Amino acid sequence: MLVLVAPGQGAQTPGFLTPWLELPGAAARVAAWSDAIGLDLAHYGTQADADAIRDTAVAQPLLVAAGILSAAALGEVSPAAVAGHSVGEFTAAAFAGVLDDTTALTLVRKRGLAMADAAAITETGMSALLGGDPEVSVAHLEKLGLTPANINGAGQIVAAGTLEQLAALNEDKPEGVRKVVPLKVAGAFHTPHMAPAVETLAKAAADLTPADPTVTYVSNKDGLAVSTGAEILERLVGQVANPVRWDLCMETFKELGVTAIVEVSPGGTLVGLAKRALPGVKTLALKTPDDLEAARELIAEHGV
Query: Are 165 and 144 within 8 A, CB to CB?
Result: yes
Burial of 73 (0-12, 13-18, 19+ CB in 10 A): buried
**Residue 52: pLDDT above 80?**
yes
Give the integer Cα–Cα distance in Å for 251 and 268: 19
State the pLDDT at residue 208. 96
**CA contacts within 13 A on the Cβ side of 45:** 28
When divided into structural domains, the chain yields a total of 2
**What φ, ψ does residue 192 adopt, rounded to 5°?**
-60, -20
* C-beta separation of 59 from 189 below 8 A: no
pLDDT at 304: 63
Helix (H) or strand (E) holding 125: strand 124-131
- Domain with 231, as residue range(s), is 2-120+191-302
Residues 160 and 256 in one domain: no
Catalytic-role residue among 70, 85, 140, 190: 190
Model pTM score: 0.94
Q: Given this model, what pLDDT does residue 46 score?
A: 98
Q: How far apart are CA 267 and CA 246, in angstroms?
A: 15
- Assess whether pLDDT exceeds 90 at residue 186: no
78 is catalytic: no
Average pLDDT on 185-189 reads 87
Mean pLDDT computed over 242-265: 97
Does residue 232 surpass a pLDDT of 80?
yes
Residues 150 and 275 both lie in one domain: no
Domain boundary among 145, 164, 182: 182
Which of 86, 127, 137, 219 is catalytic? The answer is 86
Whether 190 is catalytic is yes
CA-nearest of 241, 265, 282, 250 to 88 is: 265
Looking at residue 10, what is its pLDDT? 86
Phi first, then psi, for residue 152 (nearest 5°) are -95, -10
